[in-house]
Amino acid sequence: MVNASISDWIKQLSEEDMPIFAGTVANVTKALHSGKSSASDVANIILQDASLTSRVLKAANTVHFNPTRHSISTVSRAVMVMGFDQIKVITLSMALIDNLRVGEQRAQLIQEMAFAFHAATQAQEFAKQLKLDDAEDIFVATLLSRLGYMAFWAFAGEESLTLLNEMHEGIESTKAELKVLGFRLTDLTKTLCHDWSLGELLNDYLNNRLSAKNTKVISLAVDIATTAQQGWKQVELETVSKRVAQICDVSVEKAKKLVLSNVNKSKELTVLYGSEQISRAILLPDHIDEAEALPKLDIPDVLNDFSAPDFDYLMRVSQEMTQVLQELPLPSISIVLEMTLEGLTRGLGMDRAVFMLLNETRTKLTCKTGLGKQVDELKQQLIIDLASNQVFKRVVEQRQSLFLEKSNEDNISKQIRAMLEGSSYLLMPVVVKNKVIGLFMADRSSSKRDISQQEFIAFQQFCQQTNMGISFLAIQG
């Protein structure tokens, strides 16, 4: 039975303090573990958050995650290149940092997060060295194995000061936790793992059910992070290097280089994930000059504000789409649609872009996917009856794009006008094998900004490329 105090904490964290993190974890985990999920499903989750989108693309264009250095401009492409597991590592790391930016005991929180990211990076790299299949899951399990501690120091209030005082007086941390809180912070982590579905590997680790090999890797990483946090010198580095050499079956000298490389990597990645404070709190051994440590990751600049049109970006997406269609395995049609929606919102500066599917009887359009403002509502509610919405019917029947300005809305029903919030719209039929299967629609309904004729032309050209790509995929089967 869950301690009542823990239940109160879980409720507070889920509903008030960390609801976005809990939701991101749940959505990403569900998408990644569902056999029916595609790269576009995962990309769509990331694309709901503009800041997360920008930083994922930064990560996707670093040597660490993209050794080939082929430019990646869309999240859909990033998911394809890096894979589901690596995307999970990046998104959960960034979401964790985003949700723990404040706290009553900021110094203690930074130390906890530095410990967790350092240990997680060491564990992941050891797992790769040992050629274990679940290196990314090991990273996530190690990182989130201290989630209860991180959440506590971020949101505890007066209880955090009381607990700190008890610990400063020399009371062992677990005993101090039981005295002040009535439960151990490890138990808070276990309950969060269960309630937020943080992953089977983490659950097994917290409940001592993990395989011996994975347990050994995580324990070694945790011990190294503990040593680093206590301040390590050359003697401590030699000691941990001997353990690494034994477990990873390498020379002591190579083990030492691996450990130091992992320290540097954890410092660089935490900057990439969004926190220089955490990076600074991950310590190299005292005898190593940080300024002369291992080379820095090359982190490219990526546009953070996608509200304004960026035709150069639109061109990059267009080129990326062409590249994807030339590679094997070929992408799914949903990936091409997702890349199109990214181009329209982030390149053409639209507030919203959606794909509507035409039904078999060719009488109704239903919103199937989209990006931007209020898209979730449209996916749930938008069904356009062509008989009462002649503008959409004309686009379908004549197979021609349309710049529908607000002053020309007479042929749209009041219900649809209200749902689309009265704006100017760009419409383009999606044609596959000489048959209309749906429409692209883009607008600036939220910002109420005007759409220029130049932007309409760019919209037509870009969507026409999508039509060609989808037709090619349809022919390939």
The rounded Cα 331 to chain-centroid distance in angstroms is: 21
Q: Which of 55-69, 128-142, 199-213 has the least mean pLDDT?
A: 55-69
Cα–Cα distance, 119 to 223 (Å, whole number): 8
Say if residue 232's pLDDT is above 60: yes
**What average pLDDT does this structure show over 274-301?**
70
Cα–Cα distance, 262 to 294 (Å, whole number): 10
Count CB-CB contacts under 10 A for residue 258.
19
Say if residue 224's pLDDT is above 60: yes
Comparison of pLDDT for 132 and 34, the residue scoring more: 132
Provide the percentage of residues in the chain whose pLDDT is more than 90: 52
Q: Which domains does the chain have, with CATH numbers?
A: 4-16+98-279 (1.10.3210.10), 309-474 (3.30.450.40)
Q: Which of 23-27, 176-180, 217-221, 376-380 has the least mean pLDDT?
A: 23-27
Q: Where are the beta strands (DSSP E) in 191-235?
A: none
pLDDT band at 424 (very low <50, low <70, confident <90, very high): confident
Say if residue 302's pLDDT is above 80: no
pLDDT band at 400 (very low <50, low <70, confident <90, very high): very high
At residue 305, the pLDDT reads 41
Say if residue 320's pLDDT is above 60: yes
**What average pLDDT does this structure show over 139-165?**
91
Closest by CA to 10, choosing from 174, 142, 157, 189, is 189
For residues 321 and 465, is the Cβ–Cβ distance under 8 A? yes
Say if residue 307's pLDDT is above 80: no
Place of tokens 């989108």: 53
Place of tokens 């789409």: 321
Cα–Cα distance, 440 to 456 (Å, whole number): 12
Provide the percentage of residues in the chain whose pLDDT is more than 70: 91
Closest by CA to 304, choosing from 2, 30, 50, is 50
**What average pLDDT does this structure show over 236-255?**
95
At residue 292, the pLDDT reads 47
Strand partners, 432: 435
At residue 69, the pLDDT reads 72
Q: What is the three-class DSSP state of 128?
A: helix
pLDDT band at 28 (very low <50, low <70, confident <90, very high): confident
Say if residue 171's pLDDT is above 50: yes
Look up residue 3 and give its two tokens: 């301690």
Question: Which amino acid, residue 46?
Answer: I
In terms of C-beta density within 10 A (0-12 exposed, 13-18 middle, 19 or more buried), how is residue 209 classed?
A: exposed
For residues 123 and 221, is the Cβ–Cβ distance under 8 A? yes
Residue 440, phi then psi, degrees to nearest 5: -95, 140
At residue 407, the pLDDT reads 58
**What average pLDDT does this structure show over 341-351?**
92
Comparison of pLDDT for 321 and 303, the residue scoring more: 321
Question: Which amino acid, residue 300?
Answer: P
Cα–Cα distance, 246 to 240 (Å, whole number): 10
> Average model confidence (pLDDT) for the chain?
87
Say if residue 460's pLDDT is above 90: yes
Cα–Cα distance, 203 to 199 (Å, whole number): 6
pTM: 0.73
pLDDT band at 454 (very low <50, low <70, confident <90, very high): very high
What string of DSSP letters covers 160-201?
A: HHHHHHHHHTT--HHHHHHHHHSS-HHHHHHHHHHHTT--HH
**What average pLDDT does this structure show over 39-47?**
76
Q: How many residues does the chain have?
A: 477
Cα–Cα distance, 86 to 42 (Å, whole number): 12
Q: What is the three-class DSSP state of 248?
A: helix
At residue 341, the pLDDT reads 93
**What average pLDDT does this structure show over 181-196?**
93
285: preceding bond cis by omega (within 30 degrees): no
What digits encode the pLDDT tens for the residues 52-109?
Answer: 888 888 888 888 888 877 788 888 888 888 888 888 889 889 989 888 876 667 889 9
Say if residue 296's pLDDT is above 60: no
Say if residue 410's pLDDT is above 90: no
At residue 104, the pLDDT reads 65
What digits encode the pLDDT tens for the residues 357-372?
Answer: 999 999 999 999 998 8
For residues 270 and 279, is the Cβ–Cβ distance under 8 A? yes
At residue 295, the pLDDT reads 44
For residues 429 and 399, is the Cβ–Cβ distance under 8 A? yes
For residues 423 and 329, is the Cβ–Cβ distance under 8 A? no
Residue 178, phi then psi, degrees to nearest 5: -65, -40
At residue 105, the pLDDT reads 78
Closest by CA to 142, choosing from 225, 20, 260, 27, is 225
**What average pLDDT does this structure show over 427-446?**
93
**Percent helix, percent strand, percent coil in the chain, to nearest 5:** 65, 10, 30
At residue 422, the pLDDT reads 63
Say if residue 306's pLDDT is above 60: no
Q: Which of 321-330, 350-359, 452-461 has the least mean pLDDT?
A: 321-330
For residues 433 and 474, is the Cβ–Cβ distance under 8 A? yes
Burial 142-157 (b: 16+ CB within 10 A, else e): bbbbbbbbbbbbbbbe
The rounded Cα 186 to chain-centroid distance in angstroms is: 26
At residue 36, the pLDDT reads 58
Say if residue 475's pLDDT is above 70: yes
In terms of C-beta density within 10 A (0-12 exposed, 13-18 middle, 19 or more buried), how is residue 193 classed?
A: buried
